[in-house]
Amino acid sequence: MTSYARSQLPTSDAAAARRARLEAPVDTSIGEEPPQKPIRGRRPQGLALIALAALALATAIGIMRVRTRARVLELGAAITDLTDEHTRLLDEKRRLEAERAFLRHPDHVQEVALDHLAMEPAQPERIQRITVKPAAGEEGGR
């Protein structure tokens, strides 16, 4: 004969009856099987599925945060590169504007004309005035 004792005290009458039935001696001489030991601490079957879903959700959230942070860093690097290029282009524009102003200065134009193009200033006697005659049918002149 075997008796099974529980370590916890039941809190309801149904639990007390079940405990008494489990602790009662069993006569195996008449072919009865001794009662099975109750399975303790058995979790509901859906708990594993819920835990797996929670783990998958936490993993997905973690992956999305890492992706987002990587994208932010990537865009920050792109902004830095574009800012550097913008600064370089502004410096080049300022340099070109200064060079253009120098090249368009009348003193520089005269120097290039005299030294490189072998041009001479026009002599007053070589200057000719041109007058435009009004076309036939037009009245008045300019």
Q: What is the pLDDT of residues 108-127, one digit of tens each?
A: 999 999 999 989 888 889 88
Residues in the chain: 142
Give percent above pLDDT 90 in the chain.
48
At residue 112, the pLDDT reads 92
Average pLDDT over residues 19-37: 68
Question: Is the per-residue pLDDT at 10 higher than 50?
Answer: no
Question: Is the per-residue pLDDT at 32 higher than 70?
Answer: no
What pTM value is reported for the model?
0.45
Q: 48-88 pLDDT, tens per residue?
A: 899 999 999 999 999 999 999 999 999 999 999 999 999 99
Q: What integer best gives the mean pLDDT of the chain?
A: 83
